[in-house]
Amino acid sequence: MALRLDELSRSTRPFVTRGSRVVRCDGCLLPQKQCICSVRPAPVAESAFLFLMAKGESYKPSNTGRLIADVAKNNFAFNWSRTEPQPELLALLNDNRYMPVIIFPHENAAPERCIHSAPVATGKTPLFIMLDGTWREAGRMFRKSAYLQHLPVLGIQPQALSDYALREATRDFQLCTAEVGIEVLKLAGEPGAAAILQDYFSHFREKYLAGKPHSKART
């Protein structure tokens, strides 16, 4: 949300897209009648999250990365750039307090980069890097970011279909950002935080769909 506000402050023209005429809550971006600010949980997750966001992603009310940010005590968000990453982003990736790990399917990573469990015994706080955008955008971020190529990759293996149903997924088992965050927190040994995020996401999804009567949940 801080990234979104910063983008809005520097924008020279309004961001107009489908649903832009809806009167939304400034806190959760849902229609005011479906506002979920009253049920926003206290940040409890010790794991840190870094969101690299595709162009325009921070504006989208359907983005669920901000749900993770509400649950995680330490979270960071940057607009993605292939050739000009922000100095603050590079400094964070090199901060000795954190252990950066990219969350992405192993099928797209070199075998030597793949890890199968969260690095929770390193003496550093895990910094889970979420490539936040469409599947195509996330793939481009993963392949084209030279400053990420040395980092380990943790793959998530979902056991069930996504409950998202707010955007079309290109793959049956493709999870939304919040659902990935739930699985990551489980792997990081934070089942309590995962359960809180699960409840929060379920509430968000219910209210989001209530504000879009034409939407149909996956059956």
Distance between CA atoms of residues 125 and 127, nearest Å: 6
Task: For residue 137, give the 3-state DSSP assignment.
Answer: helix
Locus of tokens 């809180």: 196
Separation in Å, CA 173 to CA 60, 133, 148, 163, 180: 22, 16, 25, 10, 11
Tens-place pLDDT, residues 154-190 = 998 765 544 544 444 444 446 889 999 999 999 999 9
Average pLDDT of span 52-57:
90
Separation in Å, CA 183 to CA 155, 162, 202: 10, 12, 15
**pLDDT value, residue 16:** 56
Overall residue count recorded for the chain in this entry: 219
**pLDDT value, residue 125:** 96
Distance between CA atoms of residues 11 and 107, nearest Å: 38
Query: Going by DSSP bridges, is the β-strand pair 48-53/153-154 parallel, antiparallel, or unpaired?
Result: unpaired
Kindly state the DSSP code that residue 157 receives in the 8-state scheme: -
In the chain, where does DSSP find H-type helix? 2-10, 65-71, 87-93, 135-144, 177-187, 191-210
Helices (H) and strands (E) in the chain, counts: 6, 6
Tens-place pLDDT, residues 78-131 = 999 999 999 999 999 999 999 999 999 998 899 999 999 888 778 899 999 999
Average pLDDT of span 190-214:
90
Tell me: pLDDT of 4 over 60: yes
Average pLDDT of span 198-210:
93
